[in-house]
């Protein structure tokens, strides 16, 4: 019933608006076309100007409204450069935006047809055209220069002391593998994958795999002020590791390993204070449509101090020992856990 009422209402509104349109058309004929045209022209020109003023006010309001909803400060070094560059680009484009839109609406108002004016025949002017070819070209050159400097910085080779962590996507969660005591990730082969006890297809003939730790909760632990390098892969379709707080992202493509690295500068605990949000958490968002659960493919990053990280790592059993309870002690080197942490922390 309510559906019927809504549809009737919509149809009614339509009919009314349409009748207004129709009536005004007759009015034009009755009152003399030329006179109405001049009047309408004046009204429309005024409305355009009003629209521009309202638009500028709207932009201001929008800014105010969003101010406290934006991301907090960038949580890594390259992110800070990012924010700076973003600011420059906003300034350049902002000037052009207000200038050109202002001119557009002002010209509309100023040069409306009144019946008395005649248009000024002005077909071309080489000097003007040269000016507004050159200025954008220079502006673009500057933005490209800043951009490429940052781009090469972000995509540069990770420092040698970076912690290496593997992040693998599948429909619809992230799996994270830490290298364990030997500080080396073992080989994996997609043929060996099974969801019961080898979710990443670790090759057990490779001894480097024995101490590898896999987190299936999508929780990535990293140490503050220490570079971390992500080796990114996918088990099935293309995903994307999106790190909004670190201002970067990288696709996870099956069959290809991609990488990105960054140095987190603010711990999760610190960020909770900065944002006054006790629930704050760094999130990993899948940014490449990967199927029906795309929107729920969420990971988190815990940025912590070295001590906290060590303590956490200490608690993590190797994936091998988790899935082969009986075989584990035999296959593992003696006293692996404590040493493995030390081995990493020493670096």
Partner 1 sequence: MNNAEIIIDGPNLAHGHEAGDHHGHEHHEQHFIWKYIFCQDHKIIGKQFLITGIIWAIIGALMSVFFRLQLGFPDTTFPIMEKFLGEWAKGGKLSPEFYYALVTMHGTILVFFVLTAGLSGTFANLLIPLQVGARDMASPFMNMLSYWFFFLASVLMMISLFVETGPASGGWTTYPPLSALKEASMGSGVGMDLWLLSMATFVISALLGGLNYITTILNMRTKGMTMTRMPLTVWALFFTAVLGVLSFPVLFSGFVLLIFDRNFGTSFYLSEIFIGGKALPHIGGSAILYQHLFWFLGHPEVYIIMLPGMGMASEILATHSRKPIFGYFAMIISLVGITVLAFVVWAHHMFVTGMSPFLGSIFVLLTLLIAVPSAVKVFNWLTTIWRGNIRFNPAMLFALGFVSLFISGGLTGIFLGNSALDIHLHDTYFVVAHFHIVMGVSAFFGMFAGIYHWFPKMFGRFMNNSLGYIHFFITFAGAYLIFWPMHYEGIAGMPRRYYDYSAWESFKHFQGVNAFISIVAMIVFFTQLLFVLNFFVSIFRGRKMTTLNPWGSTTLEWTTPINPGHGNWIGEIPEVHRWPYDYKDDGHGNDFIPQTMPLRPGEESH
Q: How far is the CB of 334 from partner 1 (least distance, A)?
A: 34
Whichever of 74 and 332 has its CB closer to partner 1, that residue is 74
Question: Is the distance from CB of 148 to CB of 251 less than 8 angstroms?
Answer: no
Q: CB-wise, 105 or 319, nearer to partner 1?
A: 105
* Rounded to 5°, angle at Cα 264 from 259 and 269: 135
155 or 345: CB nearest partner 1? 155
Identity of the residue, 104 or 307, whose beta carbon is nearer to partner 1 in the bound complex:
104
Question: Given the complex with partner 1, which of 48 and 331 has the nearer CB atom?
Answer: 48
Q: What is the DSSP letter of 294?
A: G
To the nearest whole angstrom, how small is the minimum distance from the Cβ of residue 310 to partner 1?
Answer: 26
**SS3 category, 25:** helix
Tell me how far, at minimum, the Cβ of 186 lies from partner 1, in Å: 17
Of 50, 262, 67, whose CA–CA distance to 150 is shortest?
262
What minimum distance in Å lies between the beta carbon of 197 and partner 1?
14
Q: Provide the minimum distance between the beta carbon of 198 and partner 1 in the complex, in angstroms, as a whole number.
A: 10
Q: Answer whether 313's CB lies under 8 Å from 262's CB.
A: no
How does strand 163-170 pair with strand 228-234?
A: parallel
Other Cβ atoms less than 10 A from the Cβ of 257: the count is: 12
Radius of gyration of the chain (CA): 31
């Amino acid at each position: 019933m309510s559906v019927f009422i809504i549809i009737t209402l919509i149809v009614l509104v339509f009919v009314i608006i349409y009748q207004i349109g129709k009536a005004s058309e007759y009015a034009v004929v009755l009152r003399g076309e030329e006179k109405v045209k001049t009047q309408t022209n004046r009204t429309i020109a005024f409305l355009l100007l009003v629209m521009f003023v309202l638009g500028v006010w709207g932009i201001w309001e929008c800014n105010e409204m969003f101010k406290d909803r934006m991301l907090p400060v960038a949580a890594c070094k390259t992110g800070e450069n990012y924010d700076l560059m973003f600011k420059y680009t906003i300034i350049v484009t902002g000037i052009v935006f207000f200038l050109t839109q202002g001119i557009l609406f002002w010209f509309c108002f100023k040069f409306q047809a009144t019946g008395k004016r005649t248009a000024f025949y002005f077909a071309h002017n080489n000097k003007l055209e040269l000016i507004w070819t050159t200025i954008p070209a220079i502006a673009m050159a500057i933005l490209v220069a800043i951009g490429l400097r940052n781009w090469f910085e972000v995509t540069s080779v990770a420092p040698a002391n970076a912690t290496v962590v593997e992040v693998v996507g599948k429909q619809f969660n992230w799996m994270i593998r830490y290298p364990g005591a030997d500080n080396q990730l073992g080989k994996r082969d997609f043929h060996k994958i099974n969801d019961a006890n080898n979710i990443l297809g670790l090759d057990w003939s490779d001894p480097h795999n024995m101490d590898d730790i896999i987190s299936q909760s999508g929780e990535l632990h990293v140490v503050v002020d220490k570079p971390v390098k992500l080796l990114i892969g996918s088990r099935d379709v293309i995903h994307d590791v999106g790190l909004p707080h670190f201002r970067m992202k990288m696709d996870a493509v099956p069959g290809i390993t991609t990488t990105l690295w960054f140095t987190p500068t603010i711990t999760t605990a610190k960020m909770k204070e900065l944002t006054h949000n006790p629930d704050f958490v760094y999130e990993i968002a899948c940014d490449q449509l990967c199927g029906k659960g795309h929107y729920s493919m969420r990971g988190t990053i815990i940025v912590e101090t070295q001590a906290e990280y060590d303590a956490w790592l200490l608690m993590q059993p190797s994936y091998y020992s988790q899935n082969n309870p009986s075989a584990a002690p035999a296959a593992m080197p003696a006293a692996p856990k404590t040493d493995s942490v030390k081995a990493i922390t020493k670096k």
